[in-house]
Amino acid sequence: MATKCGKCGPGYPTPLEAMKGPREEIVYLPCIYRNTGIEAPDYLATVDIDPKSPHYCQVIEPEDIHAKCDLGYIHTSHCLASGEVMISSLGDSKGNGKGGFILLDGETFEVKGTWERPGGAAPMGYDFWYQPRHNVMVSTEWAAPNVFRDGFNPADVEAGRYGSHLHIWDWQRHEIVQTLSLQDGLIPLEVRFLHNPDAAQGFVGCALSSTIQRFYKNQGGTWSVEKVIQVPPKKVKGWMLPEMPGLVTDILLSLDDRFLYFSNWLHGDLRQYDISDPQRPRLTGQLFLGGSIVKGGPVQVLEDLELTSQPEPLVVKGKRVHGGPQMIQLSLDGKRLYVTTSLYSAWDKQFYPDLIREGSVMLQIDVDTIKGGLKLNPNFLVDFGKEPLGPALAHELRYPGGDCSSDIWL
């Protein structure tokens, strides 16, 4: 990985040019031991994903990241045109909600200060995406770290402690100019603008409401939001609530802005939608990769508006997959989708205790980019349950030269 943020990656001039780039050969994943019972530092795993390599599907270079960057409650990072690195925060040092942004020097990675004006942080934070051509940044909100860090309590939802807003920022003035209330939009997490830098619209996945919302710029310069996808909850028995949401935890867009992908961590399915018409997404692919409603588990589905039977448990190369599809990353050409199964260690322990004992996995899905469709690659498995220090929880995925969820064209 390059040491200067402004020089990272091959520098494709457009998203469509990036789709012609070389096939991915390695991927970086932060791996977590916190709250698992294993006394070991979190680390950065380098995984070989080159089918021609003798180390295919293996962790080839773990690196201790906890010792190098012990910052609390930070989440998304993006490089800026200035060469600086900008990172979103979820809370202050005491775990209270505070949706601010940290600026790092792109060469030394020293903290330079905050991006927002003094006292101008959002009430809560999580993800963000900016688009200078429209002088805008959009940020999302999960909850104060004190609310979610020890697990999910439904009483916190009733008390209004989880986020339900999008914050629209003036990119040049570094201040919030509009806050959008989301209908059926509890816990808006990952946000993505269309990759075309001229486009004034994008999508956000709302985890607890299990919706995808489209945000867009109006003719007068203000912004609006509308629900375009709803994953219906399932009536269940043997779970903490009588209805189980899908829990949309990650979304991304293909570089040609044709397909939207998202994961339902609790229901266990990964979905692909054609967004040629962004106001009317069309389901083109769906694949179950574990989840909480598999046959033979503790949960019985009583009423399901989408399925006629509960899905089978997933076994890949002899490994039972615990957890559900969570973080996702797409190849530049859009033909391969990589998936991990851990959300957040405290929530993993609450909803998928076997995930703590067995470790998470990384899977690869083959994508039909012509007609749409998803198919599991049965020969690909990275098993983080076999790590030398014990089962680990692998999280998000990043390529060294840029990818669909971190690169922004100016």
Span 282-295, average pLDDT? 98
pLDDT at 266 exceeding the cut of 90: yes
pLDDT at site 356: 96
Give the angle subtended at the CA of 398 by the CAs of 182 and 353, to the nearest 5°.
70
pLDDT at site 3: 35
Give the angle subtended at the CA of 240 by the CAs of 234 and 241, to the nearest 5°.
45
- Alpha-carbon distances of 84 from 8, 48, 87, 210, rounded to whole Å: 12, 29, 10, 34
Which has more pLDDT, 255 or 106?
Answer: 255
Give the angle subtended at the CA of 156 by the CAs of 154 and 158, to the nearest 5°.
80
Taking only the tens place, the pLDDT of each residue in 39-96 is 888 888 999 999 999 999 999 876 544 333 323 477 898 999 899 999 999 999 889 9
- Alpha-carbon distances of 379 from 316, 318, 362, 364, 394, rounded to whole Å: 8, 11, 12, 9, 19
- In whole angstroms, what is the distance from residue 160 CA to residue 230 CA? 21
What is the model's pTM? Answer: 0.93
- Min mean pLDDT across 8-22, 167-181, 183-197, 367-381 is at 8-22
Using CA atoms of 217, 396, 232, 216 in order, give the dihedral in degrees to the nearest 10.
0
- In whole angstroms, what is the distance from residue 177 CA to residue 214 CA? 19
Strand order across the 259-264 sheet:
248-253, 259-264, 269-274, 282-288
pLDDT at site 66: 38
Taking only the tens place, the pLDDT of each residue in 143-166 is 999 999 999 999 999 999 999 999
Q: Are the C-beta atoms of residues 400 and 331 closer than 8 Å to each other?
A: no
CB neighbour class for 82 (10 Å; exposed up to 12, middle 13-18, buried from 19): exposed
Say which DSSP state 142 is in.
Answer: -
pLDDT at site 342: 97
pLDDT at 99 exceeding the cut of 80: yes
The mean pLDDT of the chain is 92
Give the angle subtended at the CA of 151 by the CAs of 148 and 157, to the nearest 5°.
60
Span 227-231, average pLDDT? 98
pLDDT at site 4: 39
Long-range pairs of 69-78 with CB within 8 A, sequence gap ≥ 24: 71/102, 72/145, 73/145, 74/102, 75/125, 75/126, 75/127, 76/126, 76/127, 76/128, 77/406, 78/128, 78/129, 78/130, 78/406, 78/408
- In whole angstroms, what is the distance from residue 286 CA to residue 304 CA? 16
- In whole angstroms, what is the distance from residue 129 CA to residue 166 CA? 11
pLDDT at site 67: 37
pLDDT at 9 exceeding the cut of 80: no
Confidence of residue 10 (pLDDT cuts 50, 70, 90): low
Taking only the tens place, the pLDDT of each residue in 362-408 is 999 999 999 999 999 999 999 999 999 999 999 999 998 889 888 88
- Min mean pLDDT across 74-78, 131-135, 175-179, 228-232 is at 74-78
Structure tokens at 335: 């033909």
Taking only the tens place, the pLDDT of each residue in 298-324 is 999 999 999 999 999 999 999 999 999
pLDDT at site 74: 78
pLDDT at site 62: 62
pLDDT at 346 exceeding the cut of 50: yes
